[in-house]
């Protein structure tokens, strides 16, 4: 009896507690199903929305979005053709000075490197003690010869006075005349020998052949020099310098004598004005280079042997100049895009010249009044309509 009552009580307890749990699980499944239905409906709605046509642009019904490009009428500009090069500084006319006479011991050096000298100025003095004695001897011989000539002339004059009285024959007169002539000839010989010695003695001194600047002194007092001693001084005639710059064959063809140039030595910010005074008449067959020589006035900052750069104005030309972004290239060559009256891009083939800091020089294809696309040309097609935006200068 108690057992049946206990079983009945447990069934009532299980029934009371299991019903609410089953109802909770049911509502959970219902919520999950509703969420899945909502997600599926959202995907279906998005798919239908993507099938709708895009709204038309503001340009009109069915019109696509137009591209904006920058345009400008470049006009004509005058630009200078600049040729650049590097080279070494040197004397325009370098003069090596050595011994012109027989030489000897140098007793004094009168100048140093950097000195300005005049034509004929003594640069160094060579000992001439022996040569001076020789000159004195020859001078004495002149005086002896002149005395003999004077005596011969007197004898001839006395003989001529006696020939009329028959005391002197005509043959004696002839002899005395010959003796007088011989004495005068000996005077001339002695004077010539003396003049030769003086000239030799003057050549002992080392003198400047022309006015200019002494670049190097290669002799010192006490040094024995001769005609085989080589160069004792190096001079720049007139103090003029030059830059010898090597240029490519194509650049040499552009230059002319008298072209202005600007030279900047290495290690300084100073620039010196000059002009081309000689263009190489030949091109090196190996390097394909030619030499242009730029004349420069004297300046202490210009040192022969130093390195310098040069900018040479080879000429000027008036042409259309475009930025590099405006010029396009393909297998057919170089071209630009210009806009017609309908703002449509049209291809225009051009020929280009030199490229400088100012831009690309157009040698043919444009006259300068066209509306040229300056940017975004690489993204255009012929006939494409665009929105032009004027370039601000």
The CATH class of 94-217 is mainly alpha
In the structure encoding, which two tokens stand for residue 373, read together?
């696309």
Instruction: Print pLDDT tens along the chain (393 aa).
Output: 444 444 445 444 444 445 555 666 677 777 777 777 776 766 666 655 444 444 444 444 434 578 888 888 888 888 778 889 999 999 999 999 998 878 888 999 999 998 999 999 999 998 887 777 788 888 888 898 899 889 888 888 888 877 766 677 778 888 888 988 898 999 999 899 888 888 887 778 889 999 999 999 999 999 999 888 889 999 999 999 999 999 999 899 889 999 999 999 998 889 999 999 999 899 999 999 999 999 999 988 898 999 999 999 987 778 888 988 889 998 889 999 999 998 899 999 999 987 877 888 888 889 889 899 988 777 888 888 998 888 776
Q: Are 87 and 245 in contact (CB under 8 A)?
A: yes
According to DSSP, the residues that pair with 72 across neighbouring strands are 372
CB contact set of 180 (below 8 Å; sequence gap of 6+): 149, 152, 153, 155, 156
CATH hierarchy code of domain 67-73+323-390? 2.40.420.20
Same fold, 94-217 and 240-317: no
Q: Can you give the residue ranges of every domain in the chain?
A: 1-52, 67-73+323-390, 94-217, 240-317
Total Cβ atoms within 10 A of residue 365: 17
- Domain 240-317 CATH (choose: 3.30.70.2190, 2.40.50.140, 2.40.30.170, 3.30.465.10): 2.40.30.170
pTM: 0.56
Ordered strands of the 233-237 beta sheet = 94-97, 233-237, 212-217, 116-117
CA-to-CA dists, residue 296 to 64, 237, 243, 278, angstroms: 65, 13, 8, 12
């Amino acid at each position: 009896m108690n057992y049946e009552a206990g079983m009945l009580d447990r069934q009532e307890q299980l029934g009371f507690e299991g019903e609410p749990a089953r109802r909770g699980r049911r509502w959970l499944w219902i919520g999950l199903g509703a969420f899945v239905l909502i997600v599926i409906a959202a995907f279906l709605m998005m798919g239908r929305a993507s099938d709708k046509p895009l709204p038309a642009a503001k340009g009109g019904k069915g019109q696509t979005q137009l591209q904006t490009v920058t345009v400008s009428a470049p006009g004509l500009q005058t630009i200078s053709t600049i040729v650049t090069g590097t080279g070494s500084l040197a004397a325009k006319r370098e003069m090596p000075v050595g011994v012109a006479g027989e030489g000897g011991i140098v007793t004094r050096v009168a100048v140093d490197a950097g000195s300005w000298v005049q034509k004929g100025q003594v640069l160094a003095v060579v000992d001439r003690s022996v040569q001076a004695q020789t000159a004195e001897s020859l001078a004495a011989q002149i005086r002896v010869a002149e005395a003999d000539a004077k005596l011969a002339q007197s004898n001839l004059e006395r003989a001529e006075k006696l020939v009329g009285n028959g005391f002197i024959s005509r043959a004696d007169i002839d002899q005395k005349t010959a003796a007088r002539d011989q004495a005068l000839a000996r005077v001339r010989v002695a004077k010539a020998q003396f003049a030769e010695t003086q000239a030799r003695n003057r050549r002992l001194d080392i003198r400047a052949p022309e006015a200019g600047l002494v670049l190097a002194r290669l002799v010192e007092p006490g040094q024995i020099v001769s005609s085989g001693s080589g160069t004792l001084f190096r001079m720049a005639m007139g103090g003029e310098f030059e830059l010898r710059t090597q240029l490519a064959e194509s650049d040499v063809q552009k230059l002319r004598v008298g072209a202005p140039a600007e030279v900047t030595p290495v290690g300084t910010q100073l620039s010196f004005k000059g002009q081309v005074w000689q263009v190489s008449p030949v091109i090196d067959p190996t390097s394909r280079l030619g030499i242009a020589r730029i004349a420069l006035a004297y300046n202490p900052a210009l040192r022969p042997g130093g390195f310098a750069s040069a900018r040479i104005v080879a000429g000027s030309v008036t042409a259309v100049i475009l930025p590099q972004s405006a010029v396009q290239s393909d297998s057919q060559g170089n071209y630009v895009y210009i806009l017609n009256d309908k703002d449509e891009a049209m291809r225009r083939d051009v020929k280009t010249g030199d490229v400088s800091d100012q831009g690309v020089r157009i040698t043919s294809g444009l006259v300068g009044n066209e509306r040229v696309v300056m940017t975004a040309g690489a993204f255009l097609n012929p006939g494409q309509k665009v929105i032009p935006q004027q370039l601000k200068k």
